[in-house]
Structure 1
Amino acid sequence: MTARLIPLKPDDAAERLAARRAILIDIRESDEFARRHARGALSRPLSTLDTQGLGLPDAREVIFTCRSGQRTGAHGERLAGACGPAAFVLEGGLDAWGAAGLPLKIDAKAPLEMMRQVQIGAGLLVLLGVALGLAVSPLFLGIAGFVGAGLTFAGATGFCGMARLLALAPWNRPKAA
Structure 2
Amino acid sequence: MSQSIDVVSTRALLAAGSEVLLLDVRTPAEFETAHLPGSVNVPLDQLDAYLPQLLAASGGDLILVCQSGNRAGQCQARLGAAGAAGSRVLSGGLNAWLAAGAPVVRGRQRWSLERQVRLVAGGITLAAIVVSVWLPPARYLAGFIGAGLTFAALTDTCAMGMLLAKLPYNRPRVTGGVPAAAAKLREHGSAR
Q: TM-score range by the shorter chain?
A: 0.5 to 0.7
Unaligned runs of 5+ in 2: 153-157, 176-192
For the aligned residue pairs, the C-alpha RMSD in angstroms reads 3.7
Query: Residues 52 and 80 of structure 1: is their aligned pair in 2 closer, same or farther, counting only changes over 3 Å?
Result: same
Counterpart amino acid of residue 62 in structure 2: V
> Larger RCO: Structure 1 or Structure 2 (Cα < 8 Å, ≥ 6 residues apart)?
2
- 1:33-48 matched pairs, under 5 angstroms: 33-48=31-46
Q: Which is richer in helix?
A: 2
Query: Residues 117 and 88 of structure 1: is their aligned pair in 2 closer, same or farther, counting only changes over 3 Å?
Result: closer
Q: CA deviation at 1:68?
A: 1.6
Aligned to 2:65: 65
The total of aligned residue pairs comes to 163
Identity rate, percent: 28
Q: Which is richer in strand?
A: 1
Aligned to 1:119: 118
Aligned to 1:131: 130
CA distance in structure 2 between the partners assigned to 1:25 and 1:86 by the alignment: 13
Aligned to 2:188: none
Counterpart amino acid of residue 21 in structure 1: E
Counterpart amino acid of residue 35 in structure 1: T
Q: CA deviation at 1:28?
A: 1.9
Kindly provide the CA deviation profile for residues 65-116 of structure 1, in whole angstroms up to 9, marking residues without a partner as x. 2222233334533234557332222122211111111112233533x24553
CA distance in structure 1 between the partners assigned to 2:25 and 2:34 by the alignment: 13
| Structure index of larger Rg | 1
Counterpart amino acid of residue 42 in structure 1: V
Unaligned runs of 5+ in 1: none
- 1:1-177 matched pairs, under 5 angstroms: 5-18=2-15, 19-53=17-51, 55=53, 60-80=60-80, 84-110=84-110, 112-114=111-113, 116-134=115-133, 137=134, 139=135, 141-146=136-141, 148-149=143-144, 163=163, 167=167, 174=172
Query: Residues 118 and 10 of structure 1: is their aligned pair in 2 closer, same or farther, counting only changes over 3 Å?
Result: closer
CA distance in structure 2 between the partners assigned to 1:125 and 1:145 by the alignment: 11
CA distance in structure 2 between the partners assigned to 1:10 and 1:120 by the alignment: 30
CA distance in structure 1 between the partners assigned to 2:74 and 2:171 by the alignment: 31
Counterpart amino acid of residue 9 in structure 1: D
Retained in 2: the 8 A contact 1:69–1:90?
A: yes
Structure 2 length as normaliser, TM-score?
A: 0.63
2:132 aligned counterpart, secondary structure: helix
